[in-house]
A and B are shown apart, each in its own frame.
Chain A
């Protein structure tokens, strides 16, 4: 079937693109009819790194076959368009799990590699790319490459934003689990210093850690939140997650999320259990992928779409930059209930353009309110910049190219491995 002109959006839905889209059913039918090209999986990148306006987009989601699975070692090989959702429904009943998982399972294997995604166990296991074996890469000159870990093109492809070619298949080392449930502890904290203390105490004994933070709290409550830590449980069965039952069928009106509705939600959420800590036994689905229970949740932001702002600041800079960022966000009254704080560990990813680095990372959704949102981001950027922090391309729709060049020291090394026939709206924006 020839390429069709279609409009594609990313998860933030701010700048959709129109492209010639091919949706191959088989890896052997991928064609590079026009240049530049870009692979598009499930469109869960937030900004423009998965888009290519006016280009040739190759939709990979029909390439979803499992090519091999070793039930004794847990090594999986699959086509790159398989989603983490599909992988989990396959491997959980067999007693295996993803080595690390982002906050949604609606991403493809290829996308997880190309964005070198991370999860709640980063301080233990590093990034997704730390667990990827051989990669089958198709370059735009139609050459096929088998990339082995340690090879430069393998390292460039991990976190390479799809710019080194099309990942057609890859190996992933799964990890054994005894149960699909986790033993989870929730600990309320009252500020970033307390967060950092709990984080340090938890890193040895808890495999998964993350924190929800109330980004509208200010004054004495600034930086309050709930620390969430979990370990795989020994009991609870090996049932995979159910399909999403709820959906957001329409765009919410733009006013539905405002500082009052979000503030009310945040206060209720912060006070959801009495005392300082609470222990629960929880299935992996609400623990790792709480929002996947609601199909199409991004529509609550309305037609205007939304940005996600994710940055990391190094430990050496201390808690003060994040405090300053939280003060600026609270003062602006923007921001939402989806505010996540986590410390990254020092497990280095092979990826040349991997985002995580040792430090504190904050990820926060902002409804797109135009200039006022972008003004706020510029103020936050100043803080991140002076702390020598950086931003996550997979989430980004607006970073200053100077920040990208400054904060990714292996960028020049990466450029040697670029496929000249590939590009993306993100890449074009960085080089405009």
Chain B
């Protein structure tokens, strides 16, 4: 017997890692996907790719940064297996920190908007009594470091929020809250960075993200060895950290 159709709503679906996560998903089981993002044409291109791989897709183009735009009605009448929140932005920190508007925008994209979406999905999960909420955080959220503490602080905020939400939802054993923490990943967002051995392909990270979602892991480092690296960095005495360029 083939497994039942898997229903997932993906916010920020056009991100490279989300795309690879969805490719892994649709390779595993029949899926019905609601792809949500800002850019209708790009969502349609992504939908074409996933449909070719056997998925059913609907697209919903809207600006997730605008709290006035309603989208909740599109989630009605379905029992969701997964809400996946994937949008993010890795800005040039130096430029951003000199501009109060840019600072606000980065926090909007990386923190406020994902939190609003997670908050809206929470009652649905409580009502269903099952399902998974997964958000992409980052290893950058584990400790603020000079090279990317603006980005890192938004991801740390996500971490704290999900930790609390997981606590709240603990009385629903069928509901899982998953924090996905990719390390350095080869995507258009990091295309300009020199590629060292710590980089993973988006395809690999997407596959591991899908495994973590299926298992309902609370926190998943992608790949898992980033847990060791980040543990070292987290526990590095301050006077040593300050001598590094991390």
A positions within 8 Å CB-CB of B: 1, 4, 6, 21, 23-26, 28, 59, 62, 65-69, 79, 90
Contacts and interface: CB of A to CB of B under 8 A. Distances in A.
Given A26-B39, A67-B49, A68-B48, 10 more contacts: A1-B189, A1-B191, A1-B192, A24-B188, A25-B16, A25-B188, A28-B42, A62-B16, A62-B191, A66-B49
A23 B46 contact: no
Interface in B1-30: 14, 16, 19
Contact of B42 (A23, A26, A90): A26
B188 A23 contact: yes
A68 B191 contact: no
Interface string B183-196: 00001110110000
Q: Which of B39, B48, B187 has the most CB of A within 10 A?
A: B48
Contacts of B41: 28
Nearest to A249: B197
A377 to B, nearest CB: 33
Contacts, number: 47
A65 B191 contact: no
Contacts of A62: 16, 187-188, 191
Given A28-B41, A62-B16, A1 B188 contact: yes
B78 interface: no
A66 B191 contact: no
Interface residues of B, number: 17
A31 to B, nearest CB: 13
Contact of A66 (B39, B52, B188): B52
A79 B53 CA distance: 15
Contacts of B39: 26
B45 interface: yes
A79 B42 CA distance: 12
B191 A23 contact: yes
Contacts of A79: 45
B82 to A, nearest CB: 21
A28 B39 CA distance: 11
B29 to A, nearest CB: 15
B188 A6 contact: no
B93 to A, nearest CB: 14
B48 A21 contact: no
B45 A6 contact: no
A65 B187 CA distance: 14
A23 B202 CA distance: 14
Contacts of A26: 14, 39, 42, 45
B48 to A, nearest CB: 5
Contacts of B42: 26, 28
14 contacts: A1-B189, A4-B191, A4-B192, A6-B192, A25-B188, A26-B39, A62-B187, A62-B188, A62-B191, A65-B19, A65-B45, A66-B52, A66-B53, A68-B48
B189 A67 contact: no
Contacts of B52: 66-69, 90
A69 to B, nearest CB: 4
A62 B191 CA distance: 10
A79 B39 CA distance: 18
A26 B187 CA distance: 12
Nearest to B48: A67
Interface in B24-59: 39, 41-42, 45-46, 48-49, 52-53
Contacts of B49: 65-67
B42 to A, nearest CB: 5
Contact of B191 (A21, A28, A67, A69): A21
